[in-house]
């Protein structure tokens, strides 16, 4: 069940995410969708993060994701620095954020999802956290692999990962969620934007529809007090000017669920948990 509030800041503080209906118009979403369907045919190496394999049995290799399009595509840069997103980020974090990354996912029918995870596992923002802005470019529901979140997980540390079910997820790690925490699917329409804190546990299931895509455009940001970030991310401000943040090598302690007096609690343990693979939603 989708949870929506008229006060994004309250929802973000209480649940770690906020779903803003119609932040972009449906025509804007349609134009962006057409744009990315067109530029995916550009020469390999410019548009796609991975080589397109048209004869592959894996839908995700026939429609591979795009990464950091804003570095060579003006429309993507405009999305990343959109004033509506900037205003929302300032409202919910009380800080002027830094822009970090853009991604485009096609997720065609039959594609696997991504197991539950936390973005901070990848971005390693310190101090503060990262925030995602996830724009639906078409109708998105459980059948075509919508995003799901765990409300209230925003205050958790980076959790230790375990192996995922790679028949359902294209990433091989996940984080466990105790029975006391709920995984909530979010139904979205074109133009809706989901913003969520970097510690929020989230992921998506497979696209089980027969002929539908689940196309989404994503941007990632660092909160304004950030001083470090994972080494392979480039940071800019909302004027487009580069911002230097020190490289964060990560590693060290992670959180593990343990039973204490019949309740699940997180205990920090020494374990190398960070990895330099790119974020995949």
Q: How far apart are the two ends of the chain, measured CA to CA in Å?
A: 20
C-alpha 174/C-alpha 92 separation (Å) is 27
pLDDT at position 47 over 50: yes
Distance, in Å, from the CA atom of 129 to the CA atom of 221, rounded to the nearest integer, reads 9
Predicted local distance difference test score (pLDDT) of residue 28:
98
Predicted confidence band of residue 55 (pLDDT cuts 50, 70, 90): confident
Instruction: Give yes or no for a contact between 34 and 138, defined as CB atoms under 8 angstroms apart.
Output: no
If you compute the radius of gyration of the chain from its CA atoms, what whole number of angstroms results? 18
Which pLDDT score is estimated for 268? 95
Residue 53 CA to residue 70 CA, distance in Å, equals: 24
For 191-238, the pLDDT digits (tens) are 999 999 999 999 999 999 999 999 999 999 999 999 999 998 999 999
Average pLDDT over residues 99-104: 97
What's the total number of domains in the chain? 1
50-74 burial, b at 16+ Cβ within 10 Å, e below that, comes to eeeeeeeeebbbbbbbbbbbbeebe
Let me know if residue 215 belongs to a domain. Answer: yes
Cα–Cα nearest to 119, from 252, 264, 274, 3: 274
Task: Find the mean pLDDT for residues 117-128.
Answer: 96
* Contact assessment for residue 142 and residue 252, using Cβ atoms and an 8 Å cutoff: no
Range of the structural domain that residue 93 is part of: 8-250
Higher pLDDT, residue 96 or 274: 96
Range scoring the smallest mean pLDDT among 8-17, 51-60, 78-87, 200-209: 51-60
The secondary structure of 90-113 as a DSSP string is: HHHHSS--EEEEEEEE---TT--B
Residue 112 in any domain: the answer is yes
22 assigned to some structural domain: yes
Query: Is 83 part of a structural domain of the chain?
Result: yes
Contact between residue 122 and residue 100 where contact means Cβ atoms under 8 Å apart:
no
pLDDT grade for 40, boundaries at 50, 70 and 90: confident
Look at residue 251 in the predicted model and tell me its pLDDT: 73
270 located within any domain = no
* Percent of residues, the chain, with pLDDT higher than 70: 91
CATH of the domain at 20: 2.60.120.620
Inside any domain, residue 121? yes
Candidates 121, 103, 111; CA nearest to 169 is: 111
How confident is the model over 53-76, as a mean pLDDT? 90
Q: Does residue 255 fall inside a structural domain?
A: no
Going by C-alpha positions, the residue among 230, 257, 138, 250 that lies closest to residue 192 is: 138
In a domain, 277, yes or no: no
**Cβ neighbours of residue 261 closer than 8 Å, sequence gap 6 or more:** none
């Amino acid at each position: 069940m989708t949870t929506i509030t008229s006060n994004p800041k309250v929802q973000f503080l209480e649940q770690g995410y906020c779903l803003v209906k119609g932040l972009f118009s449906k025509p804007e979403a349609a134009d962006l969708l057409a744009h990315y369907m067109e530029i995916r045919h550009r020469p390999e190496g410019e548009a796609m993060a991975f080589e397109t394999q048209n004869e592959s049995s894996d839908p995700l290799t026939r429609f591979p994701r795009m990464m950091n399009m804003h570095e060579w595509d003006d429309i993507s840069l405009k999305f990343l620095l959109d004033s509506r997103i900037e205003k929302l980020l300032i409202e919910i974090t009380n800080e002027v954020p830094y822009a970090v990354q853009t991604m485009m996912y096609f997720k065609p029918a039959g594609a696997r999802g991504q197991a539950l995870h936390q973005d901070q596992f990848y971005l390693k923002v310190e101090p503060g956290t990262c925030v995602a802005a996830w724009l639906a470019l078409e109708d998105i529901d459980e059948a075509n692999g919508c995003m799901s979140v765990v409300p209230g997980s925003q205050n958790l540390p980076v959790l230790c990962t375990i192996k995922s079910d790679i028949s359902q997820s294209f990433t091989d790690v996940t984080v466990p969620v105790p029975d006391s925490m709920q995984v909530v699917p979010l139904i979205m329409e074109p133009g809706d934007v989901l913003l969520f804190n970097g510690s929020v546990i989230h992921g998506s299931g497979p696209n089980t529809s027969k002929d539908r895509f689940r196309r989404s455009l994503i941007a990632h940001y660092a909160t304004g007090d950030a001083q470090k970030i994972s080494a392979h991310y480039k940071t800019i401000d909302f004027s487009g000017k580069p911002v230097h943040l020190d490289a964060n090598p990560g590693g060290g302690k992670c959180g593990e669920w343990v039973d204490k007096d019949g309740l699940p609690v997180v205990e920090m343990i020494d374990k190398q948990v960070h990895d330099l693979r790119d974020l995949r939603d």
